[in-house]
Copies of this chain bind each other. A is one copy, B any other.
Amino acid sequence: MIRGLTRAGLGSTWSNEEFIRKAAAYGFESVDIDAKGLISSLGREGAASLLAETDVAIGAIGLPVDWRSTDAAFKQALPALAESSAAAAALGCTRCVTYILPSTDQPSARFMAQAVYRLRVCAEILGAYGLRFGLEFVGPHHARTSKKNPFIWTVEETLDMAAAIGLPNVGLLVDSYHCHTTGFQPSQLERLKAEQIVHVHINDAKDLPVEELRDNDRLYTGEGVIDLKGFLSALKKIGYDGPVAQEVLTPEPPAGDPEELLKRTKAGFDQVFPD
């Protein structure tokens, strides 16, 4: 498994280049950034050189498509999706991810039908560039009722959605916080196959009843109550060898020196990563 970072929780104003260099300096092997943006600032050659030099990969790009609102919004973003996919592929990135909110203001059934169609189109485009597509279920309970109608939030439901999409490059983004808040145990994770998992997020939870945990109030890796050793051991056991990227969403941008936060993150990873 690859030690990875997202920017969430680091509170930095680092450029992508600085972020990559800092990540490398603390032993991280992947960062989740916008590949197209990196190429915009450094050129394709420059971006590729930086990644090669630092031995840092782009773990995943985010899906640059608003598939949750209107058909017009969806379509408008497809040229950008093709461009972002091309940029990602040019830098060796093989993953794109999107999250699925557990409630929606639209009627649930119709929204699922629309989502399946739209995400299939996205998956076909991503697949043409060799990218896999990870669907992230979102577990916190408050988010299940923050919009009018319930949608989906469990692994099983997300796998059903992936089956409905029906393409070979679609799988899960497994986030430790969402596993925790949906009661998805390491033993259950062991029943998945590695190839069903496209990407992994890691972070920790406060010692509260899971019903009270807020999506944007997470803790740094290793500083909370989630059995992250169990989580990572299960992933290792089934043969997952992709990135495990920290994503710490917080109510306020984290205070403190970004480099200190990075050091703290490294310490957390050291503590929970299996040998």
What residues make up the interface of A, taking CB atoms closer than 8 Å to B? Answer: 74-76, 78-79, 81-83, 85-86, 89, 104, 107-114, 116-118, 120-121, 124-125, 127-129, 149-152, 156-157, 160-161, 163-164, 166-168, 170, 193-195, 239
| Residue from B83, B118, B163 within 8 A of A117 (CB atoms) | B163
Quote the shortest CB–CB distance from A132 to chain B (angstroms): 11
A75, A129, A149, A167: residue with the most chain B Cβ atoms closer than 10 Å: A75
| Residue from B108, B109, B113, B121 within 8 A of A128 (CB atoms) | B121
CA distance A118 to B85 in the complex (A): 16
A112-B109, A166-B120, A166-B168 are contacts. A79–B75 as well, Cβ < 8 Å? no
| CB <8 Å contact, A163 and B86 | no
Main secondary structure of the interface of A (DSSP, over half): helix
CA distance A190 to B220 in the complex (A): 37
A86-B76, A164-B164 are contacts. A127–B121 as well, Cβ < 8 Å? yes
Q: Which residues on the B side are within 8 Å of A108 (C-beta)?
A: 107-109, 112, 149-150
Quote the shortest CB–CB distance from A195 to chain B (angstroms): 4
| Residue from B76, B116, B168, B239 within 8 A of A113 (CB atoms) | B116
| Residue from B79, B113, B118 within 8 A of A112 (CB atoms) | B113
| CB <8 Å contact, A74 and B117 | no
CA distance A249 to B78 in the complex (A): 34
Q: Which residues on the B side are within 8 Å of A150 (C-beta)?
A: 107-109
CA distance A68 to B71 in the complex (A): 28
